[in-house]
Chains A and B, each alone.
Chain A
Amino acid sequence: MPMNAFGLAPLLLVFPLIGVLFNGLVGRRFIVANRNTGEKWSGWFASVMALSAFMVSVLLFLSLRSHEYHAEVVHLFDWLAIPSAGFRVPWAFQIDTLSVTMMLVVTGVGSLIHIYAIGYMHGDPNFSRFFAYLNLFLFFMLILVSGNNYLMLFVGWEGVGLCSFLLIGFWFDKVNEKGEPMNANAARKAFVANRVGDFAMILAMALTFWSFGSLEFEPVFSHALEMFESGEMVHFGLFSASLGSVLTAVTTLFLIGATGKSAQIPLYVWLPDAMAGPTPVSALIHAATMVTSGIYLIVRSNVLFEIVRASGATIFGIVSSPDLVAYIGAATALLAGLIAFTQFDIKKVLAYSTVSQLGFMIAAAGMGAYVAAMFHLITHAFFKALLFLGSGSVIHGMEHGHHHIHAHNHGKEVHGTPQGDTHHEEDNFDPQDMRTMGGLRYRMKTTFIVYMIGALALAGIVPLAGFWSKDEILAHGSEHNLIVYILLTIAAVCTAFYMGRQLKMVFFGEPRHEAAAHAEESPAVMTVPLMILATLAVLGGGLNLPFLSQGIAETYHEHPGGVFLGLEGWLEHSIAAFELTEEGVVHLPETPKVFSPGVAGISTILAVGALVLAFYVVYANKPKTAEEPDPLQSTPIWWFSVLPLNTLYMNYIVPGFNRLAQWLADKVDWAFWHDFFHDRIIRDTFVGFAHFAANILDLKGVDGMVNGAGSLAKRLANWIRQTQTGYARNYALSIFLGTVVLLAYFIFMAN
């Protein structure tokens, strides 16, 4: 028996927890005592804890290798257990290739972001609290990915939600020009949207437990497979239902949960707003890790999804739940890609891009391409974290530039004042507005280079990481689901286009604002993590090169565990390596590798084309000043790209649009509307599908529902509260009325 380190699994949680305690208890005192050394202690302590967790993940990875990749369950103790009923939910860690992959991503990217944040958060008054939250987030995220049952997953799920909530609102004093607490509102919105998903999760867990008598992954999956093979029905007291329909319900509820956490249609609205939090948070939580937990959930439950697919069960006879997953993912990918066109905030573009890329992963998972989904999840974690951190560096630089002019004008000393995205800003300068940027490639060389790499990786340019992972998804699409394939291909074109637009607006051309002209490069503590991430974004594709793993497959079967075979061979040990047919479970010798040169060629050509289009045609030498409108707004190119929708739009929507906009303006509460929408739509009823999507679908429809749910409850509460008059005689009457109704029930109904 080779050595293994599975017993170390609990340390995964212990290290971040120590970090939380350190920064929660004493971190602040260090900083109060001495600002600079205190920050170093606080920040590095947290980072070292994250790195230690990463080391544990690496040890677990090595142990799995030496253990022939067999999943291991490290049992701590029973949590909810009723021995007589043969039921238990333990605190136990599921160490298999899937969870270790997630652990590596979470702790690896997490560590880099921790280190970066030391530089980024420099001077923030709540420095140590920030790191306490970051470590707390890691703690919960690791519970989420390492638990061996749905309930632990749910604990992590709730915990990361709480941390996200706390971190979005971290700068809670930030207000918009109407004096409303922006970040606090964004935090609340994230909270409300996620509650819907959480509710679905609870129901899904209840249903799972009820049907299979367990919440642990292994027993649930094996029980489900057995039932599928034997064709057994699921019995609920008096009722019974076919396995397919029960699992359809479970998986659909999982999907709803995933749409909440992973920001898919219709619950994606919170994610763009969540960018109000500090940039390292956007990178860690809202791009690389937490938002991928929905994908993890689906991939983890792949057995259940596959059974639904094989059983042919559908939702109301329309669509099967895995297909629904794929369609929702693809639709989100496209919609968010379109909306990203119209954003001017550097982080908002990335936010919509994240929604769009998450859509790719969800779509892949829905098509059964679980490995492709995980692959994209990993590469996306690399390059999107890189892009967010890069944008943070840009914002940081812009603020420096702005402070520079400010200091120049007023002769004030500004170094050492708190800084960050836009908090503590006296005037209306927005360092995140791309229109005020331009020409930054000269001022911020390192940032420019790594950002370029990230953007190209995201756009899917050979041979960067994004190309391989996205292409694998597309190849699956072309084989299994043409609609999804087409949607995703268009979404990929959009991706290339908006990234080209962003690169051009931020780094090329001439500075359009004095701040951009005086921007400064960020310190090494920020740029070094960027370089590491850039390296990963370049090389990440190597994890699952199509040519590589095919060749090694045979070697692997001769020497299991001997070589690392790429993600495909690695994840094979956790992800269904079987096919389900009507006859039962057929184990597959190996998962076939999908690579289609045709698909790869098409997508590469389209991506390059879109980049060229953005760079040399649409944004060739525009905009020149910060005030000039986006060239897209006046060119007909846009109309061709959405022609079918356009016809519909011109004939049916435009005529009613003016009135609708006016009505919305008059009647509906504006609290959550983006100011951008507010100005533009109402002032000149600008027409364009992108804006239609951005403003109507995105902001009004779903926001309205999310906010409506809250206000409905409030209205109901106020209505009931009116009965609370304060008069004892009313209360007595209520008691009497209740008594009489009960009596009536007992006499007339119960008899």
Chain B
Amino acid sequence: MVEQIVFILVSLFTLITAVVVVTNRNLFHAALALMASFLGVAGLYVLLDAGFLAAAQLLVYIGAISILIIFAIMLTRRLMHALESPFNSQWGLGAFTAVVAFAVMAGVIAQFWPVTPDSVTPLASRPEVSASILRGSVAELGRALVSSDAYVIPFEIASVLLLAALIGAIVVAWPKAEDE
């Protein structure tokens, strides 16, 4: 029961801040509201017992993405005074997309309504996930990343990927001969 109340509160918080994001004319305030909304989502993860996800949500979304957005606003507009109309040329199309997206989600949920323990069919056939993964053991994760019978190849490719991005960053940042 307490859990229900907490859930409703957190959800309301998430939704209200999300509404502020799209209605506030001040871009900076909107960005702050977005951070708050992300925080709400992290709270939902906690309620779902997904501690790792909640931490990741905090780190990635609030720690990185939101800060990036705020930087972008700071670098392109005058901070605090960046007033924008929430309506631009494509608000109609945007609203339409949002409504359809909502309908889609509602449609999905409606399929399982009312929720009973044995009605969660899509997940019913889910195979057993090994306990170590659920535990989120860091050692297990590390071993998986470098074993040849696990994820070594994606790991290596990711490193090549980062190398390519690094070269790219150099190309973009390096002054051109003509500019000097």
Contact = CB atoms under 8 A, between A and B. Distances in A.
Interface string A721-739: 0000000011001001100
Nearest to B107: A747
A743 B94 CA distance: 16
B161 interface: no
Interface string B33-68: 000000000000000000000000000000000000
Nearest to A748: B107
B93 interface: yes
Contacts of A482: none
A747 B108 contact: yes
Interface residues of B, number: 11
A747 B104 contact: yes
A741 interface: yes
B137 interface: no
Contact of A730 (B90, B101, B103, B104): B90
B73 to A, nearest CB: 15
Contacts of A736: 97
B123 to A, nearest CB: 17
A740 B104 contact: yes
Given A733-B93, A733-B94, A740 B100 contact: yes
B55 to A, nearest CB: 29
A747 B106 CA distance: 11
A740 B101 contact: yes
Contacts of A740: 97, 100-101, 104
A729 B97 contact: no
Contacts of B96: 737
Interface string B66-93: 0000000000000000000000001001
Contacts of B100: 737, 740-741, 744
Contacts of B101: 740, 743
A570 to B, nearest CB: 70
Contacts of A747: 104, 107-108
A748 B100 CA distance: 12
Nearest to A743: B104
Contact of A729 (B90, B103, B107, B108): B90
A204 B101 CA distance: 44
Interface in B111-160: none
A737 B93 CA distance: 9
Contacts of B97: 733, 736-737, 740
Contacts of B107: 744, 747-748
Contacts of A737: 93, 96-97, 100
Contacts of A748: 107
The interface centre, meaning the residue of B96, B104, B107 with most chain A CB atoms within 10 A of its CB, is B104
The interface centre, meaning the residue of B96, B100, B108 with most chain A CB atoms within 10 A of its CB, is B100
Contacts of A729: 90
Contacts of A733: 90, 93-94, 97
A237 B126 CA distance: 39
Interface string A695-731: 0000000000000000000000000000000000110
B104 A744 contact: yes
Interface in A460-484: none
Contacts of A741: 100
A442 B94 CA distance: 82
A748 B107 CA distance: 8
Nearest to B102: A740
Interface in A16-35: none
The interface centre, meaning the residue of B90, B96, B108 with most chain A CB atoms within 10 A of its CB, is B90
Nearest to A736: B97
Nearest to B108: A747
A736 B99 CA distance: 12
A737 B101 CA distance: 9
Nearest to A730: B90
A666 to B, nearest CB: 37
Nearest to A744: B104
Nearest to A741: B100
A160 B121 CA distance: 64
A745 to B, nearest CB: 10
A509 B71 CA distance: 93
B93 to A, nearest CB: 6
Contacts of A744: 100, 103-104, 107
B7 to A, nearest CB: 25
Interface in A325-358: none
Contacts of B108: 747
A750 to B, nearest CB: 12
A45 B109 CA distance: 80
Nearest to A745: B104
Contacts of B104: 740, 743-744, 747
A622 to B, nearest CB: 69
B112 to A, nearest CB: 12
A52 to B, nearest CB: 60
A135 B60 CA distance: 70
Interface string A434-472: 000000000000000000000000000000000000000
A747 B104 CA distance: 7
A146 B100 CA distance: 59
Interface in A168-212: none
B75 to A, nearest CB: 17
A729 B107 CA distance: 27
B111 to A, nearest CB: 8
A740 B96 CA distance: 10
B88 to A, nearest CB: 8
8 contacts: A733-B93, A737-B96, A737-B97, A740-B100, A740-B104, A743-B101, A744-B100, A748-B107
Q: Which 8 A-B pairs have the closest CB atoms?
A: A740-B100, A743-B104, A740-B101, A737-B97, A744-B104, A747-B107, A736-B97, A740-B97
Interface of B: 90, 93-94, 96-97, 100-101, 103-104, 107-108
Given A743-B101, A747-B104, 15 more contacts: A729-B90, A733-B93, A733-B97, A736-B97, A737-B93, A737-B100, A740-B100, A740-B101, A740-B104, A741-B100, A744-B100, A744-B104, A744-B107, A747-B108, A748-B107
